[in-house]
Amino acid sequence: MGGGIDIAIESAGNLVQLACVTKQASRANYLMDIHATEVELRDLMIAGLDGNAAAYKTLLSRASDYLRGYFRGHLASANRGAVEAEDLVQEVLIAIHTQRHTYDRTRLFTPWMYAIARYKFVDYLRRTSAEASDVPVEEAEEVLAHNDHAAVESSLDLESLMAGISDQARRAIQYVKLDGLSVREAAQRCGVSESALKVTVHRGMKALALRIRQRSS
């Protein structure tokens, strides 16, 4: 009987050791993935800044994938869905495009991208009257400290992009995304229902993202 207990203890110990090794390996792989992602995205960004349209188009596509996962994870915690996540993805892509000249080539790219994403997410929570404490947003205070639309949104490039979409979409995006009005307030100004305004904003953001991709082609 004693031998059976010893065997059981040894087996349990082996399982614990295996779990530790697996955890360490998973963390190592995770860190390697992060490093590989940073190298890839940063190289694509720099190539795009140097005029490589194909690299820039690939950057936007790859960034979309990472941002989509980022926003879906946070929005799920706030009981929100994929439509909101997609809108936020497009917002960040537009901000990356219009503010690409501010990127410092000597710095890491992914922290720069996610700083924009965090800003957009906190701004989204404000617009929807959600509580920032409901969602685990890291360094939210730092993001809020840099609440400057001129630094993130306003630029001649953005105005040029907005000029290429419908008046209805442009007005809806201006009210909700730039002026910071709630969906209800913006819907009242546009004379449409809240659901109709959401659809207009969503389509408008997709149209802006498409224009960015067309420019990089």
Domain spans, the chain: 2-154
Query: What whole-number percentage of the chain has pLDDT above 70?
Result: 67
Q: Which pairs with CB-CB distance under 8 Å and at least 24 residues apart come from 150-157? A: 151/99, 151/102, 152/95, 152/99, 152/116, 152/119, 153/95, 153/98, 153/177, 153/178, 154/178, 155/98, 155/99, 157/97, 157/98
Q: Which of 16-25, 42-51, 119-128 has the lowest mean pLDDT?
A: 16-25
Is the confidence at residue 28, as pLDDT, over 90? no
Residues found in the chain: 217
* pLDDT number for residue 157: 60
pLDDT-based confidence at residue 173 (cuts at 50, 70, 90): confident
**In the predicted model, what is the mean pLDDT of residues 6-15?**
47
> How buried is 49 (Cβ within 10 angstroms: 0-12 exposed, 13-18 middle, 19+ buried)?
middle
Is the confidence at residue 24, as pLDDT, over 90? no
pLDDT-based confidence at residue 70 (cuts at 50, 70, 90): confident
Q: Which residues contact 123 (CB under 8 A, 6 or more apart)?
A: 147, 180
Mean pLDDT, the chain, integer: 74
* Burial per residue of 187-208, b for 16 or more beta-carbon CB atoms within 10 angstroms, e otherwise: beebebeeeebbebbbbbbbbb
Is the confidence at residue 138, as pLDDT, over 60? no
pLDDT-based confidence at residue 76 (cuts at 50, 70, 90): confident
State the CB neighbour count (10 A cutoff) for residue 186. Answer: 25
Is the confidence at residue 10, as pLDDT, over 60? no
Whole-model pTM: value is: 0.56
Is the confidence at residue 144, as pLDDT, over 50? no
Contact 45, 116 (CB under 8 A): no
Is the confidence at residue 99, as pLDDT, over 70? yes
Is the confidence at residue 88, as pLDDT, over 70? yes
Name the DSSP class of 129. Answer: T
**In the predicted model, what is the mean pLDDT of residues 194-216?**
81
* pLDDT number for residue 142: 43
> How buried is 172 (Cβ within 10 angstroms: 0-12 exposed, 13-18 middle, 19+ buried)?
buried
* pLDDT number for residue 2: 53
Instruction: Give the span between the Cα atoms of 178 and 187, in whole angstroms.
Output: 15
**In the predicted model, what is the mean pLDDT of residues 153-162?**
60
